[in-house]
Structure 1
């Protein structure tokens, strides 16, 4: 793969080194030539000094043949402008942008540009370390909105279908572990004793989902 990275800070340089070590072709853009020192002497890729949303700079980095583009500078506006150029002007299929403002991240996600809202994600990780809970969370998306949690079931759910559980809770079953093996459930999957169920939730819905799942299936069908 040929990957273009805009921004040679700690994140950009680490990403570039990792990709380079794995044998990918990497070009790194930064307006500060001194930033390239972070790449180290063993870096085998290309460095381009300039502004990451300048078309000529992007072309010098090989954007026209790029398989992927990452905008990871310290500026939200620069990141999103360069990401949109990479996708909309140069047709790069895999584009991601780091965004500090989580509100902006949600807007750009709706525009079809995957974003990593680093401040919100890091703050959420630290909060959950400082204020632990009994909830077992196995995944949280980069915008820190959607998570997958282990969802213990009341014994009354045994013999019911996944569709029934989803209809009652309003959440989706991501997967379940049965006899120690992970499996993707379908709506008709019948829940068995000993199943470990993992559901997709948000912070706003998780408590309700867990309460319903851990309570008896009062409707019984």
Structure 2
């Protein structure tokens, strides 16, 4: 797949490196010559110096041959312009990084296929990392309508020693949730469980659930929230 990325910031460069590792052909467009040089020499992808919303530069970068476009520019308005131009060239697979949520509807109307809110992702992930430090990772899909949690199975957990089928039939198991991955220990391969898979204490599971069920799922597994002592701050009279 040929992926064209607008923006050689930390996200654009990091994504380019990851896509290259996965075997894709990648090109970056950025107006910063140093960023383009870094992309070529350090990451090993094609880089085109200029504006990612310039039709001349886009054609030079081969937008007509691109299978996917990533709008990762620093400005939402420029990302919106890149989406519009990409659609005019017949590109349907367009991923955009959204900084300001006020652009959400505009991105949808412009035809972005995937809208990633970096601020929302960071805030939600950091808040859950503080409250539930045992939760190793959290991913968000469909603008936060679906969550994927990577959760430990504590030793004293209610589900330890029970099968996936038994858990799914439990009325206390959050409705609409699904266990999609199982790792028996840290160094084991992640496997797709079936109804007979028994969850062992100390193992890890991947769960798909709704945002409103995140805390229910965590509580169901018996994972305790972190209750750190509150710091009392005095305000001396000035």
Aligned mates of 1:19, 1:155 — CA distance in 2: 37
Query: Which whole-Å CA distance do the structure 2 matches of 1:95 and 1:69 have between them?
Result: 5
Pair 72,163 (structure 1): closer, same or farther in 2 beyond 3 Å:
same
The alpha-carbon deviation at position 141 of structure 1 amounts to: 2.7
**1:147 aligned residue:** 148
Match of 2:212, SS state, is: coil
String of CA shifts for 1:70-126, please: whole Å, max 9, x gaps. Answer: 11111113213322432x333335431111124645874795621222222233444
Aligned residues: 206
Alignment of 1:79-94 (within 5 A): 79-86=79-86, 88-92=87-91, 94=93
SS of alignment partner, residue 208 of structure 2:
strand
Q: Distance in 2 between matches of 1:134 and 1:128?
A: 7
Q: Deviations over 1:16-40 (max 9, x none)?
A: 577679986544334x4xx122233
Maintained 8 Å contact 2:125/2:138: no
Structure-2 change in CA distance of 1:182 and 1:106 (3 Å): farther
Q: 1:125 to 1:148 in 2, by over 3 A?
A: closer
Instruction: Say whether the 8 Å CA contact 2:161–2:200 is kept in structure 1.
Output: no
- Equivalent pair of 1:27/1:48 in contact (CA under 8 Å): no
- Matched residues in 2 for 1:46 and 1:14: separation? 14
Output the CA distance in 2 between the equivalents of 1:24 and 1:191.
Answer: 35
Query: Structure 1: any 5+ residue segments left out of the alignment?
Result: 215-221
Deviations 1:21-70, CA, capped at 9 Å, x for gaps: 9986544334x4xx1222336366242423x3344442222100113321
The SS at the match of 1:205 is helix
Among residues 161, 168, 185, which one is paired with 2:166 in the alignment? 161
Instruction: From the superposition, tell whether residues 169 and 71 of structure 1 become closer, same or farther in structure 2 (CA, over 3 Å).
Output: same
RMSD (Å), alpha carbons: 3.9
Map of 1:217 onto structure 2: none
In structure 2, the partner of 1:208 is: 216
User: TM-score, normalization: structure 2?
Assistant: 0.64
1:180-200, CA deviations, whole angstroms, 9 ceiling, x for partnerless residues?
Answer: 5533234xx135362644322
Cα contact 2:150–2:207 (8 A) shared by 1: yes
Deviation at 1:127, TM superposition (A): 3.9
- CA deviation map 1:175-221 (0-9, x unaligned): 233585533234xx13536264432234421222334455xxxxxxx
- The corresponding residue for 2:135 is 136
